Amino acid sequence: MKRLLVKLTPKAIGRKIKVCGWINSRRDHGKLIFINLRDRSGILQVVFRLADSNQQLATISQKLRPEWVVCIEGEVKERPKGAENPEVETGKIEIIAEKLEILAMVKKEMPLDLSKKELKMKLSTLLKERVLTLRHEKSRAIFRVFETVLGAYRKVMKKLDFVEIKTPKIIGTASEGGANFFTFDYFGKKAFLAQSPQFYKQIGVGMFERVFEIGPVFRKEPHFTTRHLNEYISLDAEMGFIENFNEIMDELEKVIKFILKSIWKENKKDLKLFSAEPPKIPKRIPRIKLREIRKIIKEKYQYEIPEDSDIDPKGEELAGKWAREKWKSDLVFLTHYPKSCRPFYTMPDKENPEETLSFDLLFKGVEIATGSQRIHKAEELIKNIKEFKLDPKDFKFYIDTFKYGMPPHGGWALGCERIVYKILNLPTIKEATLFPRDVKRLVP
């Protein structure tokens, strides 16, 4: 008999069918054994009636345990009145088991109960038992949302006429400056794991004008925070022929709105598990200079973001609070970051060269994207590289790109895990990553 997916069983009342999956939970009521069977499409109640069953089936059914992998054949029946479960899609039916095939048994003691609504455990246990905890309904919901973000990003970028590219992750020079890069030996040469596809996506502008990439990036973050990972998925974009840097934010605004709308359309059940509220998004996402928000935060919340530095997490949180109070918006662009805290490729603002044509996009008080206009003239770039005390020789291929002619351009990178983390109000970004890499974790 061919396997039927659990979600299709309500349409099969009266028919004999075969379902396969994992035993999510098991209840023993003496003469009746109830099993919740889980497959990729849902959960289904299976009943073993020991009195009616053949002896062999009765004996095996008593041995069944959570996470055993089984195929069961039986008849689909309406549940008796009062026994319906409105919380599951198959809650009005059940199947009465007639045949059972065991595909795999559990060979270890189960360290947790996956049938519980919440996995109430420490983060360290959640991650230590990751191969199992990922099977929990709430974990699966997180990664369904994650998948929607990826799909929606690709869809909207193509709609906006960007071409998808894939750039190397083993590279010869660090792109983002700072010290948070991993190095390793590459056949006798020093190599880096890409902190970002920055240089390569800019080269892509010379090919297609508008390019995007979805790919992993690597950051050697030595600290433990709720918002940093050492490997994450970056949603990058780069666009040519811009007249001003506001155009970059205009495009990103369309993108983030599309992503959020897609999640609220496609992941209703997943969002419900986390009681996630739809974000407040005004017609136009507010844009405010970092210099101005600094003043506001000082006056309104008596908090001082250190001068001439990047905004700190507390400052971001208060900027998010302000955006909600003032503009009823969960999203806000902070613009014109000081030159000292942006990478060397960022275009300085001609009106105030100490500031740059750059921005961060905050969502519920956390940075989810960074972007800027880039320097597109080789001589200006070389000058800036030197000002940053770097050696232009290390960036030869990158500088060459601009010697061969490049239009004014700019772009952004959105952190995929940051979006999921904030949408579902997770306690930490690590829960939005299948197998987070941090200082202590290299397995699984």
Quote the least distance from Cβ 227 to ligand AMO, whole Å.
Answer: 6
Please provide the distance, in angstroms rounded to a whole number, between the alpha carbons at the two ends of the chain: 37
- Which residues bind to ligand AMO, rule: CB under 6 A? 176, 196, 198, 219, 221, 228-229, 232, 234, 367-372, 411-413, 415, 417-418, 429
Quote the least distance from Cβ 417 to ligand AMO, whole Å.
Answer: 6
Quote the least distance from Cβ 421 to ligand AMO, whole Å.
Answer: 9
Quote the least distance from Cβ 400 to ligand AMO, whole Å.
Answer: 20
Tokens coding 170: 């083993």
DSSP-derived 3-state class of residue 234: strand
DSSP-derived 3-state class of residue 165: coil
The dihedral through the CA atoms of 105, 108, 109, 112 has a sign that is: negative
The amino acid present at 236, given as its one-letter code, is: D
Q: What angle do CA 312, 315, 318 make, to 5 degrees?
A: 155
Nearer Cβ to ligand AMO (90/358): 358
Other Cβ atoms closer than 10 A to 102 = 13
Quote the least distance from Cβ 98 to ligand AMO, whole Å.
Answer: 51
Quote the least distance from Cβ 383 to ligand AMO, whole Å.
Answer: 20
Nearer Cβ to ligand AMO (406/413): 413
Nearer Cβ to ligand AMO (320/415): 415
β-strands 409-415, 231-240 pairing: antiparallel
Strands ordered across the beta sheet of 231-240? 163-164, 210-218, 231-240, 409-415, 366-373, 358-363, 331-335, 287-289
Nearer Cβ to ligand AMO (200/322): 200
Q: How far is CA 103 from CA 38, 53, 72, 346, 350, in A?
A: 14, 20, 11, 57, 68
In this structure, are residues 119 and 136 in contact, taking their beta carbons and an 8 Å threshold? yes
Other Cβ atoms closer than 10 A to 275 = 8
Nearer Cβ to ligand AMO (48/199): 199
State the residue number with the nearest CB to ligand AMO: 415
In this structure, are residues 415 and 249 in contact, taking their beta carbons and an 8 Å threshold? no
Nearer Cβ to ligand AMO (229/381): 229
Nearer Cβ to ligand AMO (232/398): 232
Quote the least distance from Cβ 414 to ligand AMO, whole Å.
Answer: 6
Quote the least distance from Cβ 3 to ligand AMO, whole Å.
Answer: 39
Tokens coding 192: 């880096």
Nearer Cβ to ligand AMO (234/401): 234
